[in-house]
Amino acid sequence: MLFSEQNYKRRGAFGSIEIICGCMFSGKTEELLRRLKRAQIAKLNIEIFKPVTDTRFDQTAVVSHDLNSIESTPVENSTAILLLKADTQVVGIDEAQFFDDNLPAVCNQLAQKGIRVIVAGLDMDFQGKPFGPIPALMAIAELVTKVNAVCVQCGSPAVYSYRTVANANKVLLGEKDSYEPRCRHCFHLGDGDNH
């Protein structure tokens, strides 16, 4: 990995932005939690943020589909992330697609202060279009990790979040009752259904 906890300590404080993106059920939050827990093991001071609207598993904790979790601070907007503790060395941000378009500027500001910023979120919405601030974050990041799920239709690598319920809203909080991971082929086979 480009930015390991050991390199962080050895080289001193330097900032960076890491993006973990992909479709639903691809392990984005699990990877975010893994990196944050490694930072904790390295005795780095961490803070975790998520949008206040993400209440699927818990009001405050960031929780993966495998039910691993870590406490976080729910915030109304990306600017609130700047109100972190002075000694913070690593910032984790989950469900970044739900934040406002100012999130890339906030992440840049944190990185300029020497903070390692790790961001996880969906890169595409249910229509297969770029989602929220994720594309802009990918452009400015030092490291982008795109994770895949498994297509529930054919077993191929899945990169799309296919909505299984009729709802045209861009944002619809849901789980396996509302979404399933699909590969490109199977996603476009369903274009006549909910897209």
Instruction: Answer yes or no: are the C-beta atoms of 59 and 50 closer than 8 Å.
Output: no
Contacts 24+ apart (CB under 8 A), 31-36: 31/120, 31/145, 31/147, 32/62, 32/92, 32/94, 32/118, 32/120, 33/62, 33/64, 33/68, 33/69, 33/70, 35/92, 35/118, 36/70, 36/90, 36/92, 36/118
Whole-number Cα distances in Å, 46 to 1, 39, 79, 140, 182: 19, 7, 18, 21, 34
Catalytic residue among 95, 142, 175, 180: 95
Spatial distance between the Cα atoms of 53 and 75, rounded to a whole number of angstroms: 9
Please, which residues have CB within 8 angstroms of residue 155's CB and are 6 or more apart in sequence?
none
Whole-number Cα distances in Å, 113 to 13, 44, 46, 148: 8, 15, 14, 32
Active site residue 5: no
Active site residues: 95
